[in-house]
Amino acid sequence: MSAHSSNPGGASRVRRRALLGTAVLVVLVALAGLAAHLTRGTRETSNSTTTQASSAAPSSPAASPSPSAHPRSLSVPPDTHDPVVFGKAAAVALWSYDTRAYSRAELLAALHGWLTTESRYADAASVDAVVPSAVLWKEMAANGQFATAAVNEGHFPDAFTQALQADPGTITQAYVYAVTVSGKQSIAWNGSPAGGAESRVTTLAVQCRPSRSCALAGVMPSVAP
DSSP states of the chain: --TTTS-HHHHHHHHHHHHHHHHHHGGGTT-TTHHHHT-HHHHHHHHHHHHHHHHHSPPPGGGSPPPPSSPPPPP-----S-HHHHHHHHHHHHH-EETTTS-HHHHHHHHHTTB-S-TTT--HHHHHTTSPPHHHHHHHHHTT-EEEEEEEEEE--HHHHHHHHH-GGGGGTT-EEEEEEEEEEEEEETTEEEEEEEEEEEEEEEE--TTS--EEEEE-SS---
pTM of the full structure: 0.73
pLDDT at residue 195, rounded to an integer: 77
Alpha-carbon distance 45 to 59, whole Å?
20
- Going by pLDDT thresholds of 50, 70 and 90, the confidence category of residue 31 is very low
Give 165-223 pLDDT, tens digit per residue. Answer: 888 888 998 999 999 999 999 999 998 877 789 999 999 999 999 999 999 999 999 99
Convert the pLDDT of each residue in 126-170 to its tens digit.
999 999 999 999 999 999 999 999 999 999 999 899 878 888 888
According to the model, what pLDDT value does residue 163 have? Answer: 79
- The string of pLDDT tens digits covering residues 37-86 is 333 333 443 343 334 334 433 433 333 344 445 667 899 999 999 999 99
Is the distance from CB of 68 to CB of 101 less than 8 angstroms?
Answer: no
Is 107 in contact with 74 (CB distance < 8 Å)? Answer: yes
How confident is residue 24, by pLDDT bands cut at 50, 70 and 90?
Answer: low
Q: How far apart are CA 23 and CA 3, in angstroms?
A: 28
Task: Kindly report the length of the chain.
Answer: 225
Q: SS3 breakdown of the chain: % helix, strand, coil, rounded to 5?
A: 40, 20, 35
Q: Do the strands 215-219 and 192-207 form a parallel or antiparallel pair, or are they unpaired? A: antiparallel
Q: Can you give the pLDDT at residue 61?
A: 35
